Amino acid sequence: MREFSGILRGGGEALSKALLIFLVFVLRCGLSKVLDLPPENLIKSISAVPVSKKRRVADFQLSIASVTEDSSSDCLAPGLHLQAQKLAERLKCDAVVSEISAGPGTVNFTINRELLAKTVLQQVLKDGSEYGVKSELFSTVPKQKAVIEFSSPNIAKKFHIGHLRSTIVGNFIANLKVALGHEVIRMNYLGDWGMQFGLLGVGFQLFGNKEKLKTSPLQHLFEVYVQINKAAEDENTKKLAKDFFRKLEEHDEQTLSLWKQFRDFSIDEYIRIYKRLGVHFDEYSGESFYQEKSKEVLKMLENKGLLQKTIKGTGIVDLSEKKDLSSFSTVMRSDGTSLYITRDLAAAIDRMNKHNCDSMIYVTGKSQSNHFQHLFQILKLMGYDWVERCQHVSFGLVQGMKTRRGEVIFLEDVLNEVRSRMLQNMASAKTTKEIEDPMETAEKVGLAALIIQDFQGLLSSDYQFSWDRALQSRGDTGVFLQYTHARLHSLEQMHGNEQLTHINVACLQEPDAISVLQHLLRYDEVLYRSSQDLQPKHIVSYLLTLSHLAAVAHKTLPVKGSTPELAQARLCLFQAARSVLANGMKLLGITPVTQM
């Protein structure tokens, strides 16, 4: 095994522990000799077979096309099938592989069932919360340091629903990287500077109330903002707003004090909402941090000959290949002050100097894709090679997120609404047991419903939100994941927790037990895939399938009434399924419930 592990690493391929065991058979049966290929070349051609609704028996398959020099034409299909049949006939089973068969262009291998059960269950229960992340798959992946910027609301404004996606997506990426052993700095880059604060400052002077600011800051500032926007059509109001922001930039003590109150109260409110979402940050930064440093950036651009002035006096950077201004980015106003992108340039440079990170990830809506494209291009022109380590993870819009009254709502209203609906559903459900804290349970289950519906597709895609679909207790929903976890936890509590060393897992021969084992075997592959493209949908799909398989097994493989030996083996199987389900849910930002 150790020798083979060395061969695999030498081949540069990442492998799961289960695949490593299977490939011992590959060497032993002489498959590489039959095909006249070195073992490391076969690694790329062998994969675990996903569990599907249709019953299957194979665990791994070898793709004949991938070991054939010319397999580009469809007309080769009959020939490939014939090759698969011939190869299957030449191979012999042993203590590892119990069955070999030919499929459409594949050779299928079924692992000895007792070995499968022992290998998977021992690994799951031994590794616990680290199952999957300790896999051979990640043995060649270097541990890195990442700065992840996400959520990043504009202060003095209530969270809108768009912030939910940035917050939960960024939290997922951070959770995944931490689980895989990377160092992560979770950063919240607040929109706390700009002309809008001139308008808000004047608005508060005209319509504000200090007591309301203390008791309900974001709601009150929202009301002030609505009022001042109506008054902003007046030229005198516009002038007052410009004067207020000018004083802010000049660090006028009274003006700065009011702005600081807006910022501090906003952060306190945001932290309260983040707590409900189960999210935390290591750093709260903001545009205001880079007001002065953005001036240094403009000076650097000028010194490098990158800053050009337009007829109107604005500062631009030419991004076109032919240097004909067919593509450019505006980085300075005509009065010499900085813009959002200038402050972003200063922030990126400062973060890299401070953290010297291996990757810098920005999680925002896809509407900002052009902004980040310009940001990265300018950094490259400035000579910062580390820009290659910067990445924009974009996401689409949430459509249809409205209350019963049909109004567009804020994030906290969504959280309250989903909790309220879950409380009603739980109260009316026949299967609901007496729960210690129904409000907290409803909150966790409701959040799971929001997260799973959000994460089921590609992040870059828009999706249609549906209250009814999200809150269903059956089907592919977060509610179903929570229900499955609570049910499996209840099973453990009822029948105790036996150690695997006292259990004969060889009696787990039923098809429904094998399906669960086969699916558990693939968890590390799913984690690896999500770690490569930062898409949570792979984990979501895996967990939903696991929940459906566990639900079927729970019905067909009773613990109660079975012989002690069989009951303990089945209990061990369900314990492993619940453990992996909980691990995956936590990565997604979901807190598993134990009662429902």
Name beta bridge partners: 587: none
| 156 contacts 266 by C-beta, under 8 angstroms | yes
Is 537 among the residues known to form the active site? no
Sequence length of the chain is 596
Angle of helix 196-207 versus helix 217-231 axis, rounded to 10: 100
| 464 contacts 501 by C-beta, under 8 angstroms | no
Q: Strand locations in 218-279, DSSP E?
A: none
Q: How far is it, in rounded angstroms, from Cα 415 to Cα 183?
A: 30
Between the two ends of the chain, the Cα-to-Cα distance in Å is 44
| 395 contacts 459 by C-beta, under 8 angstroms | yes
Q: How far is it, in rounded angstroms, from Cα 199 to Cα 221?
A: 11
| Residue for token pair 């005209």 | 206
| Residue for token pair 């959770």 | 175
The DSSP letter of residue 152 is: -
Q: What angle do CA 83, 86, 91 make, to 5 degrees?
A: 120
Is 160 among the residues known to form the active site? yes
From the list 134, 145, 160, 366, the catalytic residue is 160
What is residue 307's three-state secondary structure? strand
Which region holds residue 325: left if phi is over 0, alpha if psi is between -120 and 50, else beta?
left
| 278 contacts 174 by C-beta, under 8 angstroms | no
| Per-position b or e across 301-330, b if 16+ CB within 10 A of its CB | beeeebbeeeeeebbbbbbeeeeeeeeebe
From the list 17, 158, 163, 519, the catalytic residue is 163
Q: How far is it, in rounded angstroms, from Cα 114 to Cα 100?
A: 17
Question: How many other C-beta atoms lie within 10 A of the C-beta of residue 529?
Answer: 15
Cα-based torsion angle of the residue sequence 223, 224, 225, 227 in order, rounded to the nearest 10 degrees: 90
From the list 17, 118, 157, 485, the catalytic residue is 157
Is 157 among the residues known to form the active site? yes
Enumerate residues 6+ apart whose C-beta is below 8 A from 251: none
The DSSP letter of residue 158 is: P
**Per-residue DSSP letters for 404-444?**
TT--B-BHHHHHHHHHHHHHHHHHH-TTPPP-S-HHHHHHH
Residues taking part in catalysis: 157, 160, 163
